[in-house]
Structures are given as C-alpha cells and as structure tokens.
C-alpha cells in the first residue's frame, strides 16, 4: 500500500501564520519531482505548535490542493487519545488517505496503554493508520510485540514508520507482520530497505525530492549498488539536516534555496551561526548553492 519516498512536509509560516501560498508551491514541487506522497502536520511540520483549528485546516488544504495527484498521510497523532481521535476523524472527512500516529509523547504509557491508545483511534476513525515509532522524540518505544498485536487486532493498522535506528526491530516487524515499513530517518533508509522496508517518510526530500525518490526507487528495483552510490552522495545532507533540532535546519535550507521561508515557531528558534555554516557547506558541496 505504501512504498517510495514520501515527504515529511514542513509547515511554512509567514509572520506567525501558515503561508498557504508557499504550501501550494511545495505541493506542485513534489508532484513534479517524484515524491510518492505528502505527509502534512507531522512533527517535521511542527504539529505541536499548531492549534487544533490550524491542524485541521492545513490537512484539508493539502488534501484539496493535491487533488488526488499524491496520496496524503495526515499527521494526526497526539499524546491525548481524544485529541488524536478528533484530528483523525477530521482528516478522514478532509480526504486524507491515511493517518500517521506518533506514539504518545511525555505520558510514557506502558505497552497496554499504547495498544489501547492506537486501537481507540482505529476504532473511531476507520482510516488506514501508520504507526510512528520515534523514541528519541517521544520518550517511549512502541515495542515490536505491541506493533504485532495492533497489526492482528486492527485492520486499519497497515504500516510502520520506523525512526528507532534499529534494523532488528524492522526485521522483526517484517518477519512477524504484513505491515509496510517506511523509514523515519533519512540516514537509515537504505539499511532499513535492505531489511525489508518499502521506502521513507523523508525530511531531506523537502528540498531534494527527486534524489531521495531515485535512491528509494533503485533499492525497490533491487539495484543496491546504485542505491548505495545515491545514499553516499546524499549522506552529508542527511547529517546536516539534523545539525540542530528538526525542522530548524531543513527550513533554513529551504529558505536558502528559495523554496519557502525559514520561520519556525517557539519554542524552536532560528538556526545558530555554527549550524548555519555546517548546513551551507553541505548544500554547497552538494551543488545546491554556489
């Protein structure tokens, strides 16, 4: 159901508000450059700083503007189960093709609470669901056993976004379930695909979508020699995009490349001078900046 290079879409801001003109340009950019699908209002999209109304409006705008040309996986996860249900139902009504559900952050639920959280969303919204395992950001891992239990109990659970840097967990999920697996870490996309992943939800694809899509396409075709060459070329960008907290560097890169503004919302702050120099060098070495 899900394979290829999906973009963890940034949320462009201008003077504190969502810049919908920039969003429209970015959607066309991805339509033209091989992106497999759009993932709005995820953590790269600064979802914790969007109001519920902004969150719903942003997903609806992306779904309507893409107009079926690219599937839309709406980031509707929350550390409140009721809020995640509200957002997911709204995303389904707006025309989203699936939801991306991050594990509840800060609450640190036990496996049983994690299972009940995702099952409640699946039961209420009836929208295909991608589980998002990113313990480095949430403070709690979705255990492989919980993923398998959800895959058995909920037909809506169809995929996993893996950002735990563990080829072991990706391998075990591939062995034990029929879920699609998408990397949630650009630098781990190729290793994860070698273990059976189907692609990536990429940060760096925000500004080099064609190159990420080509790397993923080569791996899907079984041409790992070509995929490795592309991975090695992209790797400095993967590293530079996380020189500071995501999405500060990627938004800065997009501003440098005139794709959208670099504005972030508090509590994020503009990139520091040292981080800017690292990012500029990576973009210049790649040939994106003169």
**pLDDT digit string (tens) for 222-276?**
999 999 999 999 999 999 999 999 999 999 999 999 999 999 999 999 999 999 9
Please check whether residue 262 lies inside any domain of the structure.
Answer: no
Number of folded domains in the chain?
1
Q: Which of 161, 224, 233, 235 is catalytic?
A: 161
Mean pLDDT, residues 160-166: 93
Cα dist from 287 to 206, 280, 283, whole Å: 16, 11, 6
Q: Could you give the percent of the chain with pLDDT greater than 90? A: 98
**CA torsion through residues 92, 96, 98, 104, sign:** negative
Please check whether residue 244 lies inside any domain of the structure.
Answer: no
Mean pLDDT, residues 41-69: 97
Q: Could you give the percent of the chain with pLDDT greater than 70? A: 100
The confidence score (pLDDT) of residue 182 equals 98
pLDDT in tens, 72-91: 999 999 999 999 999 999 99
Please check whether residue 80 lies inside any domain of the structure.
Answer: yes
- Residue 287, phi then psi, degrees to nearest 5: 95, 10
pLDDT at residue 187 tops 90: yes
- 74-93: b or e for each residue (b if 16 or more CB lie within 10 Å)? bbbbbbebeebbbbbbbbbe
CATH code for the domain of 150: 3.20.20.70
Tokens of 105: 């952050």
pLDDT in tens, 213-234: 999 999 999 999 999 999 999 9
- Strand segments (E) across the chain: 4-8, 13-14, 17-18, 37-39, 73-75, 98-102, 129-133, 157-162, 180-183, 199-202
d(CA 179, CA 2): 9
The confidence score (pLDDT) of residue 254 equals 98
Contact 152, 176 (CB under 8 A): no
Tokens of 219: 């791996």
Give the structural domain span for 25: 4-221
Cα dist from 27 to 10, 30, 92, 285, whole Å: 11, 5, 19, 26
Q: Which of 132, 251, 286, 290 is catalytic?
A: 132
The confidence score (pLDDT) of residue 221 equals 98
The confidence score (pLDDT) of residue 1 equals 82
pLDDT mean across residues, the chain:
97
Please check whether residue 246 lies inside any domain of the structure.
Answer: no
pLDDT-derived band at 177 (thresholds 50, 70, 90) equals very high
pLDDT-derived band at 201 (thresholds 50, 70, 90) equals very high
Per DSSP, the three-state class of 159 is: strand
The confidence score (pLDDT) of residue 92 equals 97
281 is an active site residue: no
pLDDT-derived band at 158 (thresholds 50, 70, 90) equals very high
Please check whether residue 243 lies inside any domain of the structure.
Answer: no
Please check whether residue 119 lies inside any domain of the structure.
Answer: yes
- 164-203: b or e for each residue (b if 16 or more CB lie within 10 Å)? bbbbebbbbbbeebebbbbbbbbbbbbbbbebebbbbbbb
pLDDT-derived band at 165 (thresholds 50, 70, 90) equals confident
Please check whether residue 231 lies inside any domain of the structure.
Answer: no
132 is an active site residue: yes
Please check whether residue 210 lies inside any domain of the structure.
Answer: yes
Per DSSP, the three-state class of 219 is: helix
């Amino acid at each position: 159901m899900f394979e290829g290079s999906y973009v963890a879409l940034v949320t462009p801001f201008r003077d504190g508000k969502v810049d919908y003109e920039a969003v429209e340009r970015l959607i066309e950019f991805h339509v033209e450059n091989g992106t497999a699908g759009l993932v709005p209002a995820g953590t790269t999209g600064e979802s914790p700083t969007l109001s519920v109304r902004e969150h719903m409006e942003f997903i609806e705008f992306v779904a309507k503007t893409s107009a079926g040309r690219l599937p839309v996986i709406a980031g509707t996860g929350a550390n409140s189960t009721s809020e995640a249900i509200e957002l997911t139902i709204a995303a389904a009504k707006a025309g989203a093709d699936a939801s991306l559900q991050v594990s509840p952050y800060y609450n640190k639920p036990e496996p049983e609470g994690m299972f009940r959280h995702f099952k409640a969303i699946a039961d209420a919204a009836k929208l295909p669901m991608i589980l998002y395992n990113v313990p480095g950001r949430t403070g709690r891992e979705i255990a492989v056993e919980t993923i398998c239990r959800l895959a058995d109990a909920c037909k809506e659970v169809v995929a996993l976004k893996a950002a735990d840097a563990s080829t072991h967990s990706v391998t075990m999920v591939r062995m034990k379930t029929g879920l699609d697996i998408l990397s949630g870490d650009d630098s781990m996309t190729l290793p994860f695909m070698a273990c059976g992943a189907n692609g990536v939800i990429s940060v760096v694809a925000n500004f080099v979508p064609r190159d990420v899509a080509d790397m993923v396409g080569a791996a899907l075709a079984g041409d790992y020699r070509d995929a490795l060459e592309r991975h090695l070329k992209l790797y400095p960008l993967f590293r530079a995009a996380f020189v500071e907290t995501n999405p500060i560097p990627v938004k800065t890169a997009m501003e440098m490349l005139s794709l959208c503004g670099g504005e972030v919302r508090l509590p994020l702050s503009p990139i520091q001078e040292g981080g800017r120099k690292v990012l500029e060098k990576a973009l210049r070495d790649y040939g994106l900046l003169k």
